[in-house]
Amino acid sequence: MHIALFIIFGLLAIAGALNLLFQRHPINSALSLVVVMMSLAVLYWSLGAEFLAAAQVIVYAGAIMVLFTFVVMLLNAGREERTMGSRVARAIGFPAAVAILGVIATVILSARGLGVAALSDGITTTEDLSRVLFTELLLPFEVTSVLILIAILGAVALARHGHGEPDGEAERTATK
């Protein structure tokens, strides 16, 4: 059962990541990233990391992806100019990618005991993690939420017509 879940959601995560790369529209790319984040949450859950799965859904698939989607929609980016890339990047990039994949494949194939995992006695429960998060790390947690709020307000201010000036203010100052 666990193997089937891993294969299904692993393939779904890979398909979502490939779809993210090949999409032309930024909103579709952001939605593909949501699929990847949700698939990763299921993989975390199947490995017994319930807290990471919940954090993946709440933080990444929920808050961060909503922020990405709103920023993309707010900026209303037009069509991007299509380029063929640099010749140097093509000449060096493909052989480098093949070399890196070869090294990774060699390491994986030569590893002994691959797939053998043992649980230690010091497993941290979700209750222990939440106690630390909401007592010792409460201030950094709240500071992060305020910084994200400031970033959203900054994006809205920059995206407004006239770079933050009220509508018509730029025209009045230009005619004076």
Calpha distance 89→93 (Å, rounded) = 5
pTM for the model: 0.50
Calpha distance 162→72 (Å, rounded) = 18
Averaged pLDDT for residues 155-176:
59
pLDDT tens digits, residue range 47-97? 888 888 888 888 877 777 777 777 777 776 556 566 666 676 677 877 888
Across 44-120, where does the E strand assignment appear?
none
Across 27-176, where does the E strand assignment appear?
none
Read off the DSSP letter of residue 79: P
Cβ-count burial 70-95 (b if 16+ within 10 Å, e if not): ebeeeeeeeeeeeeeeeeeeeeeeee
